[in-house]
């Protein structure tokens, strides 16, 4: 069973946030890590006060870097594309 450094865990969990917004299942497939492991890391990060996907925070409660990442990701989108993006991301 491989051990992951805290830096590696944080980097992987960051992929679950904007702008990538990967699902746990998708990230698990990409990285070859079990979903159970990723869910455990997410739970641990949340307990430590980190913003994690699935914690049902409203966009007003997001940290500045997450808001800025969404702004950068959507800057070049048309109104139709922006609407689709918002629906897809649950915004």
CA distance 24 to 42: 9
What does DSSP assign to residue 10?
A: H
Query: Total domain count for the chain?
Result: 1
Q: Identify whether 41 is part of a domain.
A: yes
CA dihedral 67, 70, 30, 2 (to 10 degrees): -20
Q: Identify whether 33 is part of a domain.
A: yes
How would you write the pLDDT of the chain (91 residues) with one tens digit per residue? Answer: 678 999 999 999 989 887 788 889 999 999 999 999 999 999 998 888 776 766 556 677 777 887 888 888 889 989 999 888 887 776 7
Q: Identify whether 63 is part of a domain.
A: yes
Q: Identify whether 1 is part of a domain.
A: no
What is the pTM for the complete model shown?
A: 0.59
């Amino acid at each position: 069973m491989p051990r992951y450094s805290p830096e590696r865990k944080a980097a992987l969990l960051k992929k679950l946030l904007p702008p990538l917004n990967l699902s746990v299942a998708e990230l698990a497939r990409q990285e070859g890590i079990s979903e159970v492991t990723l869910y455990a890391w997410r739970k641990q990060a949340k307990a430590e006060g980190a913003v994690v996907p699935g914690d049902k925070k409203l966009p007003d409660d997001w940290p500045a870097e997450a808001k800025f990442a969404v702004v950068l990701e959507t800057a070049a989108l048309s109104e139709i594309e922006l609407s689709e993006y918002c629906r897809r991301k649950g915004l």
